[in-house]
Structures are given as C-alpha cells and as structure tokens.
Amino acid sequence: MSNPITWWEIGVKDAGKAKEFYGKLFDWKIEEMGAMKGYHTVDTGGEGINGGIFQPPENIPNYVAIYVEVDNLQTYLDKAQSLGAKPIVPPTKLPGDSGSFAMFLDPDNNAIGLFSK
C-alpha cells in the first residue's frame, strides 16, 4: 500500500462562516453531512482531494489536517507514538460503512489523521 493522502479537514470556530468563505473563494460545493451533524463535506469539483469543514469542541483549537490511508489504524498509531507522536483520537468507526479514522499530533504538534476502509 502506498499510503496516499485521501482526505483533508479544517477545524474552525465557526463552520457556517468557513463554509461561506471557502465556498465563495474556491467555488467549492460544501454541504452538511446528514450522518454527522455539523460536519460539512467539501467537493472540490472533480480535481484534487475532497475534504471536510467542521467546528470541533471548544477544547480543541483550530487546525488543518490531512488524512493518510493505512491498512491498520492501531499499528500506525503505535508506530507514530514510537517516533515521538501523541495519539489524540483512537480508532473510531465512521457512520455507515465508510471506514474508520484516528488522529495523532506529530512531534511538532501538527494534527495528522489516519483513515482505513
């Protein structure tokens, strides 16, 4: 597996404001996801990688993250931790059969997501 980047995400203080800003700036189609209230999927128009915009809980600061596809979330979380990262979201199943994700902070505190189908 080549571990491609398959998704990106922007965590913001005001999802409505961000939706309007990015939609107008880049002509992206942004819609609230029914299964995950408050989460907005971003369709970049057929080129590049699609992503998401949402408002995380107050205790989580704004962030921009990429999601890398892996075959085993826990294996990669453990490997990242052994290299100095800090796990912040354990393997978590997404609604439906869309896969699972996890997140960690790299040694410089950048949020990085992992995704598995």
Domains of the chain: 5-116 (3.10.180.10)
Task: Identify the pLDDT of residue 39.
Answer: 92
Which pLDDT tens digits describe the chain residue by residue (117 residues)? 589 999 999 999 999 999 999 999 999 999 998 777 889 999 998 888 999 999 988 888 899 999 999 999 999 999 999 999 999 999 999 988 889 999 999 999 999 999 999
Residues 6+ positions from 70 with CB-CB distance below 8 Å: 1, 3, 76, 114, 115, 116
Task: Identify the pLDDT of residue 67.
Answer: 97
Task: Identify the pLDDT of residue 1.
Answer: 58
Cα–Cα distances in angstroms (integers) from residue 75 to residues 11, 89, 91, in the given order? 25, 14, 10
Task: Identify the pLDDT of residue 73.
Answer: 98
